[in-house]
Amino acid sequence: MEWVTSPTAMQRTALRLRREGKRIGLVPTMGYLHEGHLSLVREARRHSDVTVVSIFVNPTQFGPNEDLKSYPRDPARDRKMCAQTKVDYVFAPSEADMYPRGHSTYVVEESLSRHLEGATRPTHFRGVCTVVAKMFHLVLPDVAVFGGKDAQQAAIMERIVRDLNFPVEIIVAPTVREPDGLAMSSRNAYLSADERKQAVCLSHALHWAQEAFRKGQHEAAELKSGMAKVILYAPQAKVDYIECVHPETFEIVPVVKKGAVVVMAVWIGKTRLIDNAIME
């Protein structure tokens, strides 16, 4: 496994691999890897000859009052996990190399990005789209794998690839969960022992919605209020949003059809967690 920090070196390597006819698979991450990320790596490997994991805590996707500085980091552990999962290249650039002085270009998606995560975090998706475009140009992947937990992000990735014609196939891999149902996330590290127990309310609420949907409840308002009731059992949980949306446009739907996505963001104390489920 090679650990690459220079964007120029990464791009040169990628151009060479492409010329050699190798298929490149990219898993973009912010590091502090967990089993969820490793499942994305395995998915990338199934679709490519060479697997690249990027590790970069991207400053442009954090708002001014968000957790950029406290975001958990452990490069040594990440390195070991990548090596064990047979990653070929880890691309871990510095902030100064990724955003040189006078950086002034952004990729913006103006439809799906406007609400839900985009409402709570107004410049978040602009930062995500920009860094992903940069990663696509530096790593030149044939396929890029994103986690299903960030459903809105994944839908936006599909949209920017379509709109800007990136020669990249997006694969969205299923959310990996702890045994009790909590979706794996680097931010779970923020939770106290008690909060960790309460955090299971997200997946419980989604499970309830899935069951209700299967029993014939297709009214978004009913599904939402039922989920909010499940969340109420966790005393430190506070709903940011619960919505039923179209899987591609992420427009809010009043009537939930098969394939629609129920998305939610919930504060557990000072930690904001998101999760989602596809209704089927």
Q: Write out the catalytic residue numbers.
A: 37
Distances in whole angstroms, Cα of residue 41 to Cα of each of 35, 145, 184: 10, 8, 15
CB of 14 to its own copies, least distance (A): 8
If one asks whether residue 196 binds its own copies (CB under 8 A), the answer comes out as no
Task: Please report how close the Cβ of residue 167 comes to its own copies at its closest, in angstroms.
Answer: 6
Query: Which of 259-265's residues contact partners 24+ apart within 8 Å by CB, and which partners?
Result: 261/151, 262/206, 262/209, 262/223, 262/227, 263/116, 263/151, 263/152, 264/202, 264/205, 264/206, 264/227, 264/239, 264/240, 265/116, 265/117, 265/120, 265/239, 265/240, 265/241
Q: Which helix (H) or strand (E) holds 12?
A: helix 7-19
The DSSP element (H or E) to which 25 belongs, if any, is strand 24-29
Distance in Å, CB of 226 to its own copies, minimum:
31
How many residues sit close enough to its own copies to count as binding (CB under 8 A)?
35
Nearest-5° Cα angle at 91, 79 to 18: 125
| 164 near its own copies, judged by CB under 8 A | yes
Q: Which of residues 126-155 bind its own copies (CB under 8 A)?
A: 129-130, 133-134, 137-138, 140
Query: Which residue from 5, 94, 192, 249 is in contact with its own copies, where contact means CB under 8 A?
Result: 249
Asked whether 268 and 239 are in contact (CB, 8 A), the reply is no
Which residue number, 140 or 234, has a Cβ lying nearer to its own copies? Answer: 140
Query: Residue 275 CB: number of other CB atoms within 10 A?
Result: 25
Nearer to its own copies, 35 or 163 (CB): 163
Is residue 252 involved in binding its own copies (CB under 8 A)? no
Instruction: Work out the burial of residue 110: count CB atoms within 10 Å of its CB; fewer than 13 is exposed, 13-18 middle, 19 or more buried.
Output: exposed
C-beta of 40 vs 160, nearer to its own copies:
160
Write out the binding residues for its own copies, residues 66-125 only, by CB under 8 A.
Answer: 100, 102-112
By the rule CB under 8 A, 167 interacts with its own copies: yes
Instruction: Tell me how far CA of residue 147 lies from CA of 95, 154, 184, in angstroms.
Output: 23, 7, 10
In angstroms, the CA 91 to CA 74 distance is 15
Which x/- pattern over 202-241 shows residues binding its own copies (rule: CB under 8 A)?
Answer: ----------------------------------------
Site string for its own copies, 39-68 (x = CB under 8 A): ------------------------------
The residue from 37, 79, 124, 159 that contacts its own copies (CB under 8 A) is 159
Positions touching its own copies (CB under 8 A) are: 7, 11, 14-15, 18-19, 21, 100, 102-112, 129-130, 133-134, 137-138, 140, 159-160, 162-167, 249
